[in-house]
Amino acid sequence: MALRITVIGTGYLGATHAAAMAELGFEVLGLDVVPEKIELLSTGRVPMYEPGLEDLLRKHVDGIEGSTGRLRFTTSWEEVGDFGDVHFVCVNTPQKHGEYACDMSYVDSAFESLAPHLTRPALVVGKSTVPVGSAARLAARLAELAPVGADAELAWNPEFLREGFAVSDTLHPDRIVVGVESERAEKLLREVYAGPLAEGSPFVVTDFPTAELVKTSANSFLATKI
């Protein structure tokens, strides 16, 4: 049976990722805790400008005339847990006010809310930019809270999107980095990204700390170019 995918957090990264996964042929369910955002996305619109994103949404959002119907949105954690085989966590990690550290509260909240609804084997994939060590902590918390226990696995798959090119960068990435701890997790992510891999996108398999550090290193490099 084909994998079913959920995307948690439907901001810039999440909305793009959800639409791209539908474009790759998957049934996708996006979740956000802001009902107004879900209402907007369900009409094929987004609260920001990104070339090609609204066209892609309208192509796949269920209920829009002529769409594939592969993409839906919800505010229900229970529905997400029941629906998905692979859950992408795409919530924000802003800088803490008055500090240099990032605010992990949105990521932590997403895991705490999702885990109790994982009643069958699932892969949770973090895409947020996080400090090194976060994935290991979250993997332990996931296994602790999920009814399915250790069969709720974690992977880390950082994003490398350029504003104005986010749709293209998701569908045709110049690299795919995955931090995993099992062959099963790697196999599932290879299945998710089968389309880009067939086009020749490099698939880099690492451990958790390396996947986390790759993203922060890329951000630091880009900052030096400004």
Task: Flag whether pLDDT at 144 surpasses 70.
Answer: yes
pLDDT band at 210 (very low <50, low <70, confident <90, very high): very high
Considering the chain, what is the average pLDDT of its residues? Answer: 94
Question: For residue 225, what pLDDT is reported?
Answer: 66
3-state secondary structure of 64: coil
Cβ pair 26, 4 in contact under 8 A: yes
Superfamily, domain 4-224: NAD(P)-binding Rossmann-like Domain (3.40.50.720)
Question: For residue 218, what pLDDT is reported?
Answer: 74
pLDDT (tens digit, 9 = 90+) per residue, 154-172? 999 999 888 899 999 999 9
Task: Flag whether pLDDT at 103 surpasses 70.
Answer: yes
Question: For residue 222, what pLDDT is reported?
Answer: 65
CA distance 223 to 27: 36
Cβ pair 28, 8 in contact under 8 A: no
Task: Flag whether pLDDT at 221 surpasses 80.
Answer: no
pLDDT (tens digit, 9 = 90+) per residue, 42-76? 999 998 889 999 999 999 999 999 999 999 999 99
Question: Angle at the Cα of 11 (from 8 to 13), degrees rounded to 5?
Answer: 80
pLDDT (tens digit, 9 = 90+) per residue, 23-47? 999 999 999 999 999 999 999 999 8
Q: Judging by beta carbons within 10 Å of its beta carbon (0-12, 13-18, 19+), is residue 75 exposed, middle or buried? A: middle
Q: Which helix (H) or strand (E) holds 30?
A: strand 27-31
Question: For residue 226, what pLDDT is reported?
Answer: 64
**DSSP one-letter code for 225:** T
CA dihedral 127, 176, 225, 46 (to 10 degrees): -50
Question: For residue 162, what pLDDT is reported?
Answer: 86
Record the tokens describing residue 26, joined without a space: 């998957």
CA distance 36 to 119: 29
Task: Flag whether pLDDT at 199 surpasses 70.
Answer: yes
Cβ pair 73, 10 in contact under 8 A: yes
Domain boundaries, the chain: 4-224
How do 176-179 and 122-126 pair as beta strands? unpaired
Question: For residue 106, what pLDDT is reported?
Answer: 95
Higher pLDDT, 120 or 102: 120
How do 203-206 and 122-126 pair as beta strands? unpaired
Record the tokens describing residue 173, joined without a space: 């990435």
The amino acid sitting at 87 is: H
Record the tokens describing residue 214, joined without a space: 């790759």
Provide the percentage of residues in the chain whose pLDDT is more than 70.
97
Task: Flag whether pLDDT at 131 surpasses 80.
Answer: yes
Question: For residue 36, what pLDDT is reported?
Answer: 96
CA distance 96 to 199: 39
